[in-house]
Amino acid sequence: MKDKIHRLAKYSSISLFTSIVDIGLFYLFLMRLNAHNVENSIFLSTILARIISALIAYELNKHFVFKTQNLSIKRLLKYYSAIGIQMLLSATLVTYVDYLLGINEMIEKAVVDIVLFFLLYFVNKFWIFKEDNI
């Protein structure tokens, strides 16, 4: 039980760090794209930021949370499939919530991504890094 709590704490710490990176990059991309009047700037900013933060998250989780040192193409493909789905869900939901509420893109993104955080933890634990969770 203690190991599970410790693993979740490490996953949470890494997720917090990469979320800060993701939101920071989202903000930078959003400001830049909006300055050039690019359509779908929320969607594009979400995707660009997520690609970069996902690269960081995969490596940190692989080494520090799920402690796997072997390179597995199958695992990498699973991870990026899950990240792709999460990225599209985040971009779509943030865009939709912004359309409905129009509060603030940063707040909307934070709320959506917190919900997706918990979903992705279980996807990582029980599907992507499953064989390492003995």
Among 115, 119, 91, CA closest to 105? 91
Helices (H), 1-134: 2-35, 41-60, 73-101, 105-123
- The reported pLDDT for the residue numbered 13 is 93
Q: Is the pLDDT of residue 116 over 80?
A: yes
Q: What is the pLDDT of residues 60-87, one digit of tens each?
A: 988 888 777 666 788 888 888 998 898 8
Gap between the Cα atoms of 134 and 132, Å rounded: 6
- The reported pLDDT for the residue numbered 71 is 65
Question: How do the domains of the chain map onto residue ranges?
Answer: 2-132
Gap between the Cα atoms of 38 and 106, Å rounded: 18
Gap between the Cα atoms of 46 and 50, Å rounded: 6
User: Residues of 76-92 as b/e, b for ≥16 C-beta within 10 angstroms?
Assistant: eebbbebbeebbebbbe
Among 123, 129, 130, CA closest to 59? 129
pTM confidence score: 0.69
Please give the share of the chain, as a percent, with pLDDT higher than 70: 95
Among 45, 128, 122, CA closest to 87? 45
